[in-house]
Structure formats: C-alpha cells, structure tokens
C-alpha cells in the first residue's frame, strides 16, 4: 500500500516568466528541464504572452506562460526542483521584482492549500495577476481555486482591464 501512495501523481500548475536574455529560449529550456524532473511529466503548456513588468517598471518586458505538470514529487520537493532549474539557468535572488532569466512559481498543487514559511499554494498573488491568470485560462478556465473557491476564469474577469491587456505571441509547438 505504501508503494501506491509513493507513485500517486498530482496535477500541478507552474507559472513561467523570463525578461532577460533569450526569453523564449529560457522558457523552452525550463520546460524541457521540468520534463526531466524525477516522477514528473509536462502535460500541456499555455500560449506564451508578453507582459509589462510588475513592481519595478524599469526593466524589460516579460514573457509568461503556464504549464500543467503531473508529478509524484511532494510540494516541497517540487519547489526545490524548480529552484534548482532557476539556479542552473543563472537566476540569482537579490531583491523583489528584479529582472530574471527565469521565474518558476507553483500556482496550484492539485486542490491543496499549502501555507508554510517556504511555500504558499495557491500562489498568494495569483488572483491579482493577469500575466498568471490569462495563461492559466488557456489550460484550466473551469478549475476552482481551492483558496478563494472561484473558477480561474472568474478571477480573470474580476481584474481591471489594464491587467488583462497582454500580448499573445504566436509560438511554435512545444
């Protein structure tokens, strides 16, 4: 019975963002690296969107996307694995809202609500960010956020228009 529990896979959703270097190449590299994580496979990816930076407007525009990931990793191990990918790609965390080669955030982990000092899921700012909700709506518009109990598409509709004005890029298949 223990073996079955260890092999249980959870659908998770990860937000990707990049505004330094080859932004699309960075997203593709991170996507490939996520597919190589033990016990994990990438099921689908949203379109890629170009978005204005949040917090510190004096930096390049971002490319953002969301990925549906099936994983047998527990949330803390998934977080560490994503941080290893960020580190491998050259991300250095110094200040909030700084430019970055890659940013990988766990948006949802199944229907779990997680609140630890290291990890908060659903992502605490998810409902305020068009650059997160628009790509999520590509994948799971009907999914109910376990924290707010509202569907992703409803959260998106509640945002001011300025948060939804992002540019969808025509991209090759991933």
**Closest to 78 in 3D by CA, of 33, 46, 138, 44:** 33
Going by the DSSP 8-state scheme, the letter that residue 128 receives in this structure is G
Residue 58 appears among annotated catalytic residues: no
From 23, 91, 129, 145, the catalytic residue: 91
Residue 103 appears among annotated catalytic residues: yes
From 23, 105, 138, 145, the catalytic residue: 105
Q: How far is CA 49 from CA 23, 61, 111, 112, 126, in A?
A: 11, 10, 25, 27, 16
Residue 115 appears among annotated catalytic residues: no
Partners of residue 168 on adjacent β-strands: 49
* Contact assessment for residue 91 and residue 105, using Cβ atoms and an 8 Å cutoff: no
CB atoms under 10 Å from CB of 93, counted, come to: 11
From 23, 100, 129, 145, the catalytic residue: 100
Residue 161 appears among annotated catalytic residues: no
**Closest to 108 in 3D by CA, of 81, 80, 70:** 70
**Active site positions, annotated:** 91, 100, 103, 105
């Amino acid at each position: 019975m223990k073996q079955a529990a260890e092999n249980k896979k959870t659908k998770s959703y990860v937000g990707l963002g990049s505004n330094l270097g080859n932004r699309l190449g960075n997203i593709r590299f991170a996507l490939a690296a996520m597919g190589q994580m033990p016990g994990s496979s990438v099921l689908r990816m949203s379109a890629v969107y170009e978005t204005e930076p949040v917090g510190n407007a004096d930096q390049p525009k971002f490319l953002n996307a969301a990925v549906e990931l099936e994983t047998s990793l527990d949330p803390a191990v998934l977080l560490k694995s994503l941080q290893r990918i960020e580190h491998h790609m050259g991300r250095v965390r110094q200040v909030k809202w700084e430019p970055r080669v890659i940013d990988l955030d766990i948006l949802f982990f199944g229907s779990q609500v997680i609140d630890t000092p290291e990890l908060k899921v659903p992502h605490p700012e998810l409902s305020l960010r068009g650059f997160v909700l628009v790509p999520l709506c590509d994948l799971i518009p009907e999914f109910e956020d376990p924290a707010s109990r509202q569907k992703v598409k409803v959260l998106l509709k509640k945002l001011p228009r300025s948060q939804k004005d992002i540019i969808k890029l025509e991209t090759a298949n991933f």
